[in-house]
Amino acid sequence: MQRRDFLRTTGVAAAGVWLAPAMVNAPDTVAAPGAAEDASVLGIGAPRMPLPRPKFIAPSGLTLTAAEKSVAVDGHSAPALAFNGTVPGPPLEMRRGERVRIDLHNALREPTIVHWHGLHVAPAADGHPRLAIPPDESYAYDFVVNQRAAMHWYHPHAHARTAAQVYRGLAGLFVVRDEEEASLGLPSGDREIFLVLQDRRVASNPAAAFTYQPSAPDIMMGHFGDSVFGNGVPRPTVDVEASTYRVRILNASNARIFRLALSTGAPFVIIGNDGGLLPAPARVDSIDIAPAERIDLLIDLAGLAVGTRVMLRSLAFTIAGGMPGMGGAGRGMGGPMAGMGGSTPQGTPLDVLELVVARGGGRAYAPPARLSTVGSLAGTAIGHQRTFRFATRMMRHTINDSAFDMSRVDERVPLGRLERWTFANDDMLPHPVHVHATHFEVVARRGGRGIVLPWEAGVKDTVLVLPGESVDVLLRFDAHRGLFLLHCHNLEHEDAGMMMNFEVV
Ligand code: C2O
Ligand code: CU
Ligand code: CU
């Protein structure tokens, strides 16, 4: 099997410029209004919805209530779950060094607990499933954020309920700012766009857009939607000026990988990921973003005429060694797996966000050659090596052949020791692997795409491991002792057992 075909990456060209072969259609800068929906199965003729602009609040002295709530989707009332009445939850913003005090109140009819994905906090504040609280109870979080600027997020982590609760609307942004980032003078205010992406299964029933009813194949592959919601609305659109924008994207989908590209064929400049700013900017034609990953982009709209419409879209792709009908390059669409994942399996092209140039502006921003001083661990002596094999066999999702057991400690890791962990995927499904309590450096990928991709520079907390790939990361737990999690962030896989406990000792 030609695994190397997947993503068709050709490697890194000079000066940090990554060139993907032409897989984007010819530039079509000025699509006629109404023609924007060409790639979508859904939403033809339906108006685009304004992208709600997040209003950030300080995460101190905050009560965060998880409760049922109906939200409007295309004029229908869709039952959902919301934090403080909003979907996604209220975005939180703080500066490095500030103290966070949040009371989570569970007004749901089932247990929940919140995890601060990307934050390095003590076990009592990390939202481990053993800490889940029953209905009507509260949980107090109190921690100081002492880590670099980055866009993180929060979501429930109750055992076997994460997929449903996140899908039904419980997720929100958590943005950390620091001096290093501020010194760059990046586009800000209206020119900084925050985008929480989730694919939702709407079909012809908008009232069911936040209803979670997975089939048996969904539990195996992951739950895929047919329509992309941005900040809680379908077919999002945003009016912009002809300037450079900073666009910060979270993929909060349960299972969908997006391959983002612009309809104009223009490249992105990637400046950051789940760990914050990259050491240096990189120019790319398209970017793959798996569940729980974040990317920080510069999109240059300076010079475009008023009236220009640019679609940020997810391109079609196939996964070499993947499952036929699930974005796999395996042939035989008539095989036993055909049709799994519904009409929009992994790799289906989808519209993501329409940018409409509504005003001139002309503010262009060029990033400096050096963005940050994020350190490299490569070259430091490695104290220990571990391998984690992610596998789906016979409807079981496992790591090193075991399914999650809340009371079993699978690994013990000494505080402060540099280790190399290898995440290996020998099966036919993609696994976005996430580690709690630290960030890691991606140092090598063997098999599959075979390289460390430009958006994997710097540090990360989630890395996509495709069929046939082994990814090496370097990491060290410096902050807290205690029990943390390693898991696949395909939420159906996580809930079905692709998760393990490790204890920092
Ligand atoms: Cu975002 Cu343990 O997860
Ligand atoms: Cu996490
Ligand atoms: Cu997985």
Tens-place pLDDT, residues 177-201: 999 999 999 999 999 999 999 999 9
Q: What's the CA gap between 21 and 23, in Å, rounded?
A: 6
Whether 248 is in the pocket of ligand 1, judged by its Cβ within 6 Å, is no
Kind plus residue range of the DSSP H or E element containing 385: strand 384-393
Is the C-beta atom of 485 inside 6 A of ligand 1?
Answer: yes
Residue among 126, 110, 123, 213 at smallest CA distance from 163: 213
pLDDT tops 70 at residue 158: yes
For atom 1 of ligand 1, the residue with the nearest CA is: 117
Query: ∠ CA(42), CA(44), CA(49), 5° rounding?
Result: 85
Residue 332 Cα to chain centre, angstroms: 30
Whether 37 has a pLDDT exceeding 60, the answer reads: no
State the Cα–Cα distance between residues 477 and 488, nearest whole angstrom.
19
**Length of the chain, in residues:** 505
Ion ligand 3 neighbours, Cβ < 5 Å = 431, 488, 490, 493
Cα of 425 from ligand 3 centre, angstroms: 9
- Residue 10 alpha carbon to ligand 3 centre in Å: 26
Q: Is 115 in the pocket of ligand 1 (CB under 6 A)?
A: yes
pLDDT at 41 over 50: no
Ligand in closest contact with the CA of 460: 2
Ligand 1 neighbour 294 (Cβ under 6 A): no
327 pLDDT tier (thresholds 50, 70, 90)? low
Which pLDDT belongs to residue 361?
A: 87
Phi then psi dihedrals of residue 3, to 5 deg: -60, -30
What value does the mean pLDDT of the chain take? 89
CA distance 275 to 119: 10
Tens digit of each residue's pLDDT (9 = 90 or more) over 81-113:
999 999 999 999 999 999 999 999 999 999 999
107-132 pLDDT tens trace: 999 999 999 999 999 999 999 999 99
Residue 331 vs residue 98, higher pLDDT? 98
User: Is the four-CA dihedral 141, 294, 397, 337 of positive or negative sign?
Assistant: positive
Q: Is pLDDT larger for residue 269 or for residue 12?
A: 269
Centre of ligand 2 from the C-alpha of residue 436, in Å = 5
Cα 210 to ligand 3 centroid, rounded to whole Å: 22
At 39, is the pLDDT very low, low, confident or very high (cuts 50, 70, 90)? very low
420 within ligand 1 shell (Cβ under 6 A): no
Percent above pLDDT 90 for the chain: 82
Q: Which of 455, 434, 445 is nearest to 119 (CA)?
A: 434
**For 273-285, how does the pLDDT look when each residue is reduced to its tens digit (9 = 90+)?**
999 999 999 999 9
- Tell me what pLDDT residue 326 has: 59
Burial 333-351 (b: 16+ CB within 10 A, else e): eeeebeebbbebbbbbbbb
Which neighbouring-strand residues pair with 385? Answer: 420
Task: Identify the band that residue 377 occupies on the pLDDT scale cut at 50, 70 and 90.
Answer: confident
Q: What six digits make up the tokens of 249?
A: 């994207």
Give mean pLDDT, residues 145-167.
97
**Mode of pairing for the β-strands spanning 319-324 and 328-328:** parallel
Q: What is the pLDDT of residues 219-253, one digit of tens each?
A: 999 999 999 999 999 999 999 999 999 999 999 99
**Rounded Cα gap, residues 166 and 448, in angstroms:** 30
Which residue, among 438, 384, 432, 390, has the nearest Cα to 412 in the 3D structure? 384
Between the CA of 38 and the centroid of ligand 1 the distance, in Å, is 35
CB 152 near ligand 1, within 6 Å: no
The yes-or-no verdict on residue 364 having pLDDT over 90 is: yes
Cβ pair 78, 87 in contact under 8 A: no
Residues of the chain with pLDDT > 70, as a percent, come to: 87
Rounded to whole angstroms, the Cα distance separating 189 from 192 reads 6
C-beta neighbour count of 195 within 10 angstroms: 22
What is d(CA 496, CA 505) in angstroms, rounded to the nearest whole number?
Answer: 27
Beta carbons of 486 and 499 less than 8 angstroms apart: yes
Residue 462 CA, closest ligand 1 atom number? 1
pLDDT in tens, 381-427: 898 999 999 999 877 899 999 999 999 999 999 999 999 999 999 88
DSSP states of 277-295: EEEEEEEES-EEE-TT-EE
Closest CA to 290 of 348, 251, 341: 251
With cut-offs at 50, 70 and 90, classify the pLDDT of residue 321.
confident
So what's the pLDDT on residue 222?
96
Does residue 493's CB lie within 6 angstroms of at least one atom of ligand 1?
no
| Closest residue to atom 3 of ligand 1, CA basis | 117
Distance 172 CA to ligand 2 centre (A): 13
